[in-house]
Amino acid sequence: MGRRKWSAEKKMEIVLEGMAPEANISEVCRRHHIAQPQYYRWREAFLEGGRSALRTTPSQREKQLEEELKEAKSLLGEKEMQIEILRKKADWGRR
């Protein structure tokens, strides 16, 4: 029999079943035809995902977006200065 592919949803269902207060891990693994070390790897990955989601540190994507916003604000400031300089030159030329 070849290796079985498990969906993320099915893995989560099995992990949560094993985390129930009355759960017997051996029985859960036997029922789903998985080895206990596999169950514990899935459980650790599941818990790490929860820990990652609860951390307050910004993700790489958030950091990238913040940097892009900072650059955009800087460019906007430069353009506003250029417009002000051109307005002053235009006013000076009218005199």
pLDDT digits (tens, 9 = 90+) for 52-93: 878 777 778 888 999 999 999 999 999 999 999 998 888 887
Per-residue pLDDT band for 46 (boundaries 50, 70, 90) equals very high
pLDDT beyond 70 at 9: yes
Q: DSSP letter at 22?
A: T
Query: How far is the C-alpha of 24 from the C-alpha of 20, rounded, in Å?
Result: 9
pTM of the predicted model as reported, rounded to 2 decimal places: 0.56
